Structure 1
Amino acid sequence: MATSTAPRSYPVHVDADLDPGLSRGLWLVKWILAIPHYVVLAFLWTAFAVLSVVAFFAILFTGRYPRAIFDFNVGVMRWSWRVAYYAYAALGTDRYPPFTLADVPDYPAHLEVDRPDHLSRGLVLVKWWLLAIPHYLIVALFAGGVAYGVQGADDETWISISVIGVLVLVAAVMLLFTGRYPQQIFDLVLGLNRWVLRVAGYVALMTDQYPPFRLDMGGHETPTATREPDAPPPAPLTAPPARPRGWTTGRIVSVVAGSVLVLTGLGFAGAGATLALVGATDRDDGFLMSPSISMDSSAYAITSEDARINTEGAPDWLPEKVLGDVRVTASSGSGDVFIGLAPTADVETYLVGVARDTFREVRDGAAVLDPVTGGAPSAPPADQSFWVASATGSDATLDWAPEDGSWTFVLMRADGTEGVTADVATGAEVPVLDAVVAALLVLAGLTLLAGALLIAVPIRTVARREQ
């Protein structure tokens, strides 16, 4: 055993001991064994992100990182480090990580962060992004943010490469064939992970002390002094881990659930605000219109795909209240165009044997048309009596109140000759939009309130226990 003789220099402390009897092949399936931890950590890191925002404002206005939030966030980092150490950030132990935020004294991986009494109010605005940029570049290399494109037979494939990943892979292969984890690789892997976690603590606002550009290798940060030969070995630590300052399972679940609700509420609010902005700025004469699509065909007509409307069993007012009237506009600089809507069967009868293109989709901003060979129509489109709505002109506008049936839109030259060119836009009144916006904003308010309560109550309870 060894004891430290020098004070720790950086407030984020990362330590680990390499298990001497690692299994040769267990690392091949650890990705499966660690799945329960990955699922739990996904929720814990959601709460970590939300609480870090709360801590940001607390530091900005008070200069202090709330202790209850600090303990929770350190616990999440500690849990993540244990899982990473067990899995593919180190493969340093075969002992399954415990499900706890607290430090487990007899587990081989440990992480502690010294809570500062005071933090700079101004530094909190820039340290997590601007000041940390040099470290972000280094951490990207260490932990896998560097990607390389590999040209394959069909497409380019991006491969993420990290120094830690390569070193751990080398150690795993050597472990598989020799049963030994090379100590030199272990020391380097721990040094790289220590660098990454120091940066994580800094950008998570837990310290104002800038992370050193120093690779402190080995399982422990500081030099050690060997015990006297006659000193008896310490008794193993078997006491169960204590909860970090009042963070019971119920309070942790409450904070996680509250964080999910807060993010959901922000999503509702963002969607509602976006729809409100669209409704206020993008309406044209009461219609929400799509961007214009340039359609160019050498055939005699361009038709839409069959549009089927079936409101059987729904209230009669539903199409009018939800969709409202539909509008199609066509603008052409090469003469008058005709746009019309009719039952699909009537359109098929009129255009049987006629060369035409069918509009399928918009791809890369251009219309995708499927050609149908044939000849010229028997008469101009305006001479037909089956159109339920139609318009003609260099700037033609067609309005239609939707009803049940199978319908097809047709775009042609007004005289029925070949060569159809126009910029086409479609839209609808969508009167239900205001109701949707209101519902989203109400849902946002309710979920944000519920989430805030689920977060605030356990944090306040923990803070009171610490007083």
Structure 2
Amino acid sequence: MTSTTYPPREARQHYPVHVDATLDSGLNRWLWLVKWLLALPHYVVLLFLWMAFAVLSVVAFFAILITGRYPRAIFDFNVGVLRWTWRVAYYAYGTLGTDRYPPFTLAEVPDYPAHFDVDYPERLSRGLVLVKWWLLAIPHYLVVGIFLGGGWYAADQATSSDTSFADGTGLIGLLVLVAAVVLLFTGRYPQPVFDLVLGLNRWVLRVAAYAALMTDVYPPFRLDQGGDDPGLEFSTGARPTSPAGALAVTDAPASPAPPAGMRPSRPWTAGRIVALVAGCAVLLLSAALGTAGVAAALVDGAGRDDAGFVGGQERAFATETYALTSQTFTIHLDGAAGLTPESLVGDARVEVSGNGQDSLFVGVAETRDVAEYLSSFKHAQVVDFQGVDGDVVPVYRVTGTGAPELPPASLDVWAAKASGPGDLSLIWPVEEGDWTVVVMNADGSDRVAADVAVAATVPWLGEAAVGLLVAAAVLLVAALATLLLTLRSVEAGGAR
């Protein structure tokens, strides 16, 4: 393999996102069959790196909006994540262009056959940052979707109900598959296919950098094929290449020192990367806890009715059978210290509304007693809900035959019950066990129809809201401290 020397940022002009690669000769015919397994460690690491990438992109968004500058340490980290992703894709099924295992680093590796870099922008538009990543990039998203696979799905959904082809691979994946099969039988990677795949990947990575706010220069609608970036030139006007077509710098004049705001940051070492990813993970956890805390506080405050119950969304049920039952709900605390059903749920309330003419019955009983009673006649159990024409309707499982011999109110198995015409309200102090709610016509006749709403007092909700918000605040402070210290340590290297 020919050694490649990648030119420094300051020597490059034209489009600020640079994607280059060199096709290795003598690729193994069989190795590509197991690269999905060999690349697994990279996929795991990239999962965490992309989590940090997303968090830091939000930070960069606000920094650009306020200051017009992309923080250099964050910029270098995010460029490194895209670079790492490109190297793994080049090794694996984004190209299959090399058998050399990708390095575990965010930094540029000059002699690796795949390269990615973005020129650091001295200033960025505060207005464009509001629209370029979603509105302006939409045309490119449609194109990239076809390259990567999502566009096929969208097109197929618009024209056909059959998604068998849409569920699969995009144009890049199909071309790489063709190259893999040719490599398997001939031992050679077709150069025209390689050039086209590189062009498609170059388009994708340019759009990714633009959407990640790294440049204000709109990506060209141009398929620049080949390993060398066609939009790359040197400040001297020359464009030397190695014998294999790899970019090289030979006797290039020393570049002037960049302005202070453009100085590169200190390298992202493994320790700094781990600290940054941990800080981002804690920040996301803090956001999740804070969101849950705010939701709990809103429900505890505005979500309770005058009687202190939470819930109570009414749903319509109707069945041709003699009884309507809920699924079994289980309350078992297994002796948990200090926990009781009263402390967790409080009182439960079941409200039932009929059509104003028939008398209804609603009761709560242990599941085994309900099963024994229902075994003698036809009944329907609510097993699920599904959306139909914008509405949510229940799904029933009907079992049994015949009619009940006794009306429900005559049984003594009910822990709580209510019956009569009009609206019914059953309040039950929750106990441990397996329980089922039953709704029937009071006389035991068929064709049960009712609107049912279930609610509970949930006494711990206010305390949970406070606990979640406090935990979120503590984690937020810890996350911000970790991120600030890490980013400052990186920026300090570029300020010297």
Shift in alpha-carbon separation, 1:278–1:214, aligned structure 2, 3 A: same
> Residues of 1 paired with 2:72 and 2:483: CA distance?
14
For 2:416, give the aligned amino acid: A
Distance 1:15 1:303, change over 3 A: closer
| Deviation digits for residues 359-379 of structure 1 (CA, Å, limit 9, x no counterpart) | 44445521414332233433x
SS of the residue corresponding to residue 133 of structure 2 reads coil
1:399 maps to what in 2? 427
Partner of residue 77, structure 1: 82
The change in CA–CA distance for 1:17 and 1:164 in structure 2 (over 3 A counts) is same
SS at match of 2:132: coil
Q: For residues 137-161 of structure 1, what are the alpha-carbon distances to aligned partners after superposition, in whole Å with 9 as ceiling and x for unaligned?
A: 11111222224469xxxx9645233
1:341 matched to 2:369? The reply is no
- Which residue identity lines up with residue 424 of structure 2 in the other structure? A
Q: Is the 8 A contact 1:332 1:422 kept in 2?
A: yes
In the alignment, structure 1 residue 40 sits paired with structure 2 residue 61: no
Is the partner of 2:125 in helix, strand or coil? coil
Deviations 1:239-270 (A, max 9, x none): xxxx9723221111100111111111111122
The residue number in structure 2 matching 1:239 is none
Letter paired with 2:289: F
Question: Does 430-439 or 386-395 show the bigger shift?
Answer: 386-395
Counting only pairs closer than 5 Å after superposition, residues 418-433 of structure 1 correspond to structure 2 as 418-433=446-461
Partners of 1:81 and 1:352 in 2: how far apart? 63
User: Superposition pairs for residues 8-407 of structure 1, below 5 Å?
Assistant: 8-148=13-153, 157=164, 158-222=166-230, 245-284=266-305, 285-305=307-327, 307=329, 309-311=331-333, 313-314=335-336, 318-333=340-355, 334-343=357-366, 353-364=376-387, 365-378=393-406, 380-385=407-412, 387-392=414-419, 393-407=421-435
Q: 1:297-344, CA deviations, whole angstroms, 9 ceiling, x for partnerless residues?
A: 334333445555445524576211210001111100042212123455
Deviates more, 1:306-315 or 1:444-453: 306-315
Letter in 2 for 1:64: R
Tell me the equivalent position of 1:240.
none
Distance in 2, Cα, partners of 1:95 & 1:61: 43
Q: Which runs of 5+ in 2 are unaligned?
A: 251-263, 388-392
Provide the rounded CA distance (Å) in 2 between the counterparts of 1:37 and 1:391: 61
Query: Sequence identity, in percent?
Result: 54
Amino acid at match of 2:29: R
Letter matched to residue 253 of structure 1: V
Cα 1:218/1:244, change in 2 over 3 Å: farther
The AA in structure 2 aligned to 1:353 is: S
Residue matched to 2:465? 437
Consecutive unaligned residues of structure 1, counting only runs of 5 or more, are 237-242
- AA aligned to 1:279 is D
Q: Which amino acid aligns with 1:460?
A: R
| TM-score normalised by L of structure 1 | 0.88
Judging changes above 3 Å, is the alpha-carbon distance between structure 1 residues 143 and 432 closer, same or farther for their aligned structure 2 residues? Answer: same
Higher strand share: 1
Q: What is the count of residue pairs matched by the alignment?
A: 452
CA spacing shift, 1:255–1:305, aligned 2, 3 Å: closer
How far did residue 136 of structure 1 move?
1.0
Between 172-181 and 386-395, report the one with greater CA deviation. 386-395
Counterparts of 1:11 and 1:63, CA distance in 2: 18
Q: Give me the TM-score of the superposition, normalised by structure 2.
A: 0.83
Q: 1:362-405, CA deviations, whole angstroms, 9 ceiling, x for partnerless residues? A: 45521414332233433x44445554422223100000112245
Q: Is the 8 A contact 2:107 2:267 kept in 1?
A: no
SS class of match (2:69):
coil
Does the CA-based 8 Å contact 1:3-1:226 persist in structure 2?
A: no
For 1:3 and 1:47, how far apart are their aligned partners in 2?
29
Instruction: Output the amino acid matched with 1:324.
Output: G
The 3-state SS of whatever aligns with 2:318 is: strand
CA displacement at 1:7 relative to structure 2: 5.7
Q: 1:173 to 1:244 in 2, by over 3 A?
A: farther
Q: Is the 8 A contact 2:383 2:394 kept in 1?
A: no
Instruction: Name the counterpart of 2:259.
Output: none
Pairwise CA RMSD: 3.0
